[in-house]
A and B are shown apart, each in its own frame.
Chain A
């Protein structure tokens, strides 16, 4: 079974600085997707970024970018110019191509200090 590991239960960053959240996964498949979801205190799950495994280029969405290392099975999220609104739980997730089911990591709680 596929597993997703987030080794940092909590992280903190100063406003306007950069922080990187780690995620590793285990799979023997070649066709899959990786995601980062954000869960603010409102509890709503919000998609931050999505990466298709067959794409070499790292996905970016404004201040959010990923470092996708397929051979190492690593998928880290970099948040640049951190803002107070970035404070949330961040979940890394994996989905096998054709499966549609997501497997989530346990999450990293990000605190942004003013």
Chain B
């Protein structure tokens, strides 16, 4: 399995505070993703990256920003957290082509609670 770790795994914060979630992968995968999971919605794509400093928006990007300064790290930032951003956040990565084409490997998830 790809080595992909998320930190923190759990966080409780207050409305209006900034929050950064970190994703670190050791497989030298080009593509990385941030999803959020909410009951009744499945997983929805927030932002993704197709290389260092190359990122793009997903379907639920409002209120979130990302950065990727190194291949192995993909950061998700909530500039001013709101209660609607209470969710479980998953990072995923993907290599390019071959038998692993289009197969995502996921981190263990980060549960964020915004009070």
A contacts, CB < 8 Å to B: 6, 33, 35, 42-45, 47, 50, 91, 95, 97, 99-107
Contacts and interface: CB of A to CB of B under 8 A. Distances in A.
B74 interface: no
Interface string B68-82: 000000000000000
Interface of B: 31, 33, 35, 40-45, 48, 50, 58, 88, 90, 92, 94, 101-106, 108-109
Contacts of A105: 42
A105 to B, nearest CB: 6
A103 B58 CA distance: 10
Nearest to A47: B103
A101 B40 contact: no
A101 B41 contact: no
A74 B61 CA distance: 29
Given A91-B43, A100-B48, A104-B42, 8 more contacts: A43-B88, A45-B92, A47-B103, A102-B33, A102-B45, A104-B43, A104-B44, A105-B42
B25 to A, nearest CB: 14
A95 B48 CA distance: 14
B108 A44 contact: yes
Contact of B58 (A6, A35, A101): A101
Contacts of A99: 102
Nearest to B104: A102
B103 A35 contact: yes
Contacts of A95: 102
A91 B42 CA distance: 7
Contact of B45 (A47, A91, A97, A101): A101
A45 to B, nearest CB: 4
Contacts of B35: 104
Nearest to A105: B42
Contact of B33 (A43, A97, A101): A101
